[in-house]
Structure 1
């Protein structure tokens, strides 16, 4: 059988971890997922790491922030008046909120992590929670084809 190539359908398992060892996502070997290489179902850099592997082979790759969830931008951390939340919600540090913002006349729903919640203000981080982080994936190809 030939190794994994672009547009192949593959059965894979993987574990994604942060440098601390914290597991952030896992697809166990006894329940692999099936995906098509190039479909974007998983990070493109992880898909690319599967290229050339044969069934039964594993690989560990370190995905840099720019190939994962992007760089961390301090400019995406904002302090807002607590009054913006009125009586709808009581923000607490660690909460991830879905907020409505308007940009260039278009309304968007965006996630924001509450970093701090004071009496008068709330500090929100609009970066992805994994932005700026290197993620290590250990991937295994179980099968190639349907």
Structure 2
């Protein structure tokens, strides 16, 4: 059988973990992932590691933050007056809120994680929770469906 090429669709199993070993995502034999090479369903670095693989082959790849969930951007961490939430909720660190953000004159609902609660305000982070962290993938190629 030919190894994985650009126009192939493949079936894979994988685990995605932080470098600490904390599991982020897993697709096993009971729920494998089908990936069309070049489709962008998985990050480009993982797609690239599939090239040349043959069924049954395994690879481990470390994906840098900029190629995974992006770098952590300080400008996406903001303070919001605690009075804004008065009577609506009791903010706690770790809570994820859906906040309205104005972009180009339109309102968009965006998730934000509360990182700190102070006497008069809260700190929210609009970055993806995995931003700034490298991800380690262990990928096994199951089949190539050309």
Taking structure 1 as the reference length, the TM-score comes to: 0.93
RMSD: 1.3
2: CA distance, partners of 1:32 / 1:110: 30
> Which aligned pairs between 1:22-101 and structure 2 lie closer than 5 A?
22-101=22-101
Deviation at 1:97, TM superposition (A): 1.3
2: CA distance, partners of 1:81 / 1:88: 13
2: CA distance, partners of 1:6 / 1:85: 50
2: CA distance, partners of 1:132 / 1:54: 32
CA contact (8 A) 1:12 1:142 kept: yes
Aligned to 1:129: 129
1: CA distance, partners of 2:134 / 2:47: 16
Gaps of 5+ in 2: none
Deviations 1:87-123 (A, max 9, x none): 2222210111111100221211211110012332111
2: CA distance, partners of 1:84 / 1:108: 18
Aligned to 1:8: 8
**3-state DSSP class of the match of 1:39?**
coil
Taking structure 2 as the reference length, the TM-score comes to: 0.93
Runs of 4+ in 1 over 6 A off after TM superposition: none
2: CA distance, partners of 1:84 / 1:119: 13
Gaps of 5+ in 1: none
Aligned length: 146
CA contact (8 A) 1:98 1:112 kept: yes
1: CA distance, partners of 2:108 / 2:3: 42
